[in-house]
Amino acid sequence: MTDKKTYPSNKEEWSIAIHKGLSITQIEGEQLFQSENFPVEDLVKLIQKEYSKGFGPEFVPALVRNIKGLISWVYGDGSEPFWPGRDS
């Protein structure tokens, strides 16, 4: 039996993870997104805390690089961000 860590793989799972980590409901997230007041830095810190260990080395940088796209996907009408890429 392994303790393989999993990460949110769709926008509903991301909404749940953000709610657990930041206490932001889906409706609150949508309102924060629409008013351009979403706590981006808090989400970055949550991602760095929760997903830095047990995942590939490019996982957190890809999330941070695409953080605005992630927020738009989960709380707006954006499409899933394009995750591949290089960090400089």
Is a pLDDT exceeding 50 seen at residue 6? yes
**Is residue 51 within 8 Å of 84, Cβ to Cβ?**
no
> Residue 27 has what pLDDT?
98
Q: Over the Cα atoms of the chain, what is R_g?
A: 13
Q: Is the pTM of this model over 0.85?
A: yes
Kind and range of the H or E run holding 82: none
Counting residues of the chain whose pLDDT is more than 70, the rounded percentage is 89
Instruction: Find tokens 């796209």 and name the residue.
Output: 69
Task: Name residue, tokens 């760095």.
Answer: 48
